[in-house]
Structure 1
Amino acid sequence: MRSIISFELLKNLQDRGLLFWMLLLPILFTVLFISVFTSGTEGVAREQVILSIVPGYTVMFVFFIIITMIANFIKDRELGMTARIASTPLPAYKYLLGKWIPYMYIVFVQIIVLLFFGKLVYDIPLEQPLFLLLISVLLTFTVTGIGLVLSLLVKTNNMGIAMTQVIALGGAVLSGLWMPIDMMPSFIQTLSKFLPQYWAHQALQQGMEGSMQISDILLPASILFIYGFIAFTIAILRYPAFLKMARG
């Protein structure tokens, strides 16, 4: 399993396109939309906009790792790598963990870099770093867990791109990542409570402001963990069908 983790991590670190999707594009969008939405605003109003956009776009863009995960799983399936590994004594869950863990590293680093970018450029507060760290870990677990199960369900790269866009962009709209959730219709506010993006965004904002209590973090943390756990469970159940589609 360690060799799979090392190989996958090295392969992804050499992918310059991944660097663009994970860091450069989110930073560009963050700067652009902050400049647009803070134009003509000052003081507290400007700070609130920035405090919403930085974690909002961080949460939105971490979901784009799913495109890379799907592409790599499909490539391994079509090249026969999946079948060759399945012929070894390595258990299925260790294979999936070996493929999954490198993306956890990547997404976690992405979240930390984007939050520190907000701190350095816009001086956003990071009042409760331990809570922010916990939510970042759980968001990483959830996003890559969803990516893992989709990688075993999706049959083509184009389908994977389409589904990722629906999840990332659709979830961003419905969860209040683009605009305050209080400004959305009541039915969308209700629907947002069922999405992991909403809970991650709210928890990150509270952790930045320093307004989160231990009791406040239990619900978003539990929801994020449950999403990730269910996704991994489905992936384990789906793996035999995925293996049947593998070349070789």
Structure 2
Amino acid sequence: MTAIALLELKKKTKDKGLWFWTFLLPVIFIVGFITLFGESMGAEPEQLVVQIVPGYTVMFSFYIMISIVVAFIKDRDSGMAARLASTPIRRLDYFAGKWLPFVAVVLLQIVVLFTFGVVVYDLPLGDPLSLLALSIGLAFVATGCGMAMAVLAKTENMGIALTQVIALGGAMLGGLWMPVEFMPDVMQNIARFLPHYWALEGYKTVILDNGTLMDVWQSLAVLVGFGIACSTLALLAYPRYLREAKS
């Protein structure tokens, strides 16, 4: 497991596309939308920053799914997955070795984007333990969803297209682009079934209301529940993934 994790992490550090999607593009979106909405709507600066910085952090966390899909499909089509399956390595060890580097990337992304918000926009942070727990939950669900997508997608393009649907669709319906209370009732009801909504609500509770772990337990439970469901689906679909792997 450790060797797989280190190899995957080494490949990720050399992937310039990953760094663009993970750090540069989110910063561009954050600056652009705070400038746009701050000038055109005259919104309260603190509420605007608390909506946009965590909101786009949550949205772009799900873009890690693209890298996960690409990594798994490359292993499948290159024969690497079949070769690893012929060794004594356990399925769980393989999954953990592939998964942990992506979790680390998402957590680093969250740290960088929140630090940017603090330095540039004076984003208040609130209870650090609650922020850490929510960030781990967000990383868990984003990467778990990516693992499920990676073993189920037939092609790389299909996986990338579905990632766009999950990331952008979840952002729109989950209240990441605008506060949920401004949305129609039907969309507000849909939002409560999405992990994007619960991640942002948890962050806003901590940042705006000085919430603690006791105040965000529901958000954490939903994120962990989604993460477990996606990870379980990925493990169950792994035999199918191996059957399609080139030897």
Q: Is the 8 A contact 1:126 1:210 kept in 2?
A: no
Partners of 2:212 and 2:111 lie apart in 1 by 22
CA drift of 1:191 comes to 0.7
CA deviation map 1:43-77 (0-9, x unaligned): x7122111100000000001111011101100110
Counterpart check, 1:25 vs 2:8 = no
CA drift of 1:188 comes to 0.6
CA drift of 1:211 comes to 3.0
Partners of 2:212 and 2:98 lie apart in 1 by 35
Q: Is the 8 A contact 2:206 2:212 kept in 1?
A: no
Q: Is the 8 A contact 1:128 1:210 kept in 2?
A: no
Partners of 1:240 and 1:148 lie apart in 2 by 14
CA drift of 1:210 comes to 4.1
Q: Is the 8 A contact 1:78 1:247 kept in 2?
A: yes
Partners of 2:147 and 2:220 lie apart in 1 by 20
CA drift of 1:109 comes to 0.4
Which contiguous aligned blocks of 4+ residues in structure 1 show a shift greater than 4 angstroms? none
Q: Which amino acid aligns with 1:21?
A: W
Paired position in structure 2 for 1:8: 8
CA drift of 1:182 comes to 0.5
Q: Is the 8 A contact 1:172 1:197 kept in 2?
A: yes
Q: Which amino acid aligns with 1:144?
A: T
Paired position in structure 2 for 1:228: 227
Identity of aligned residues (%): 46
1:144-159 alignment runs, 5 A limit: 144-159=143-158
Paired position in structure 2 for 1:194: 193
Q: Which moved more, 1:170-179 or 1:202-211?
A: 202-211
CA deviation map 1:122-161 (0-9, x unaligned): 0010121111111001100110000001000001111111
CA drift of 1:213 comes to 3.8
Structure-2-length-normalised TM-score: 0.97
1:167-246 alignment runs, 5 A limit: 167-246=166-245
CA deviation map 1:59-98 (0-9, x unaligned): 0001111011101100110000000000000011111111
CA RMSD of aligned residues (A): 1.1
1:86-105 alignment runs, 5 A limit: 86-105=85-104
Paired position in structure 1 for 2:58: 59
Partners of 1:213 and 1:130 lie apart in 2 by 8
Partners of 1:48 and 1:219 lie apart in 2 by 22
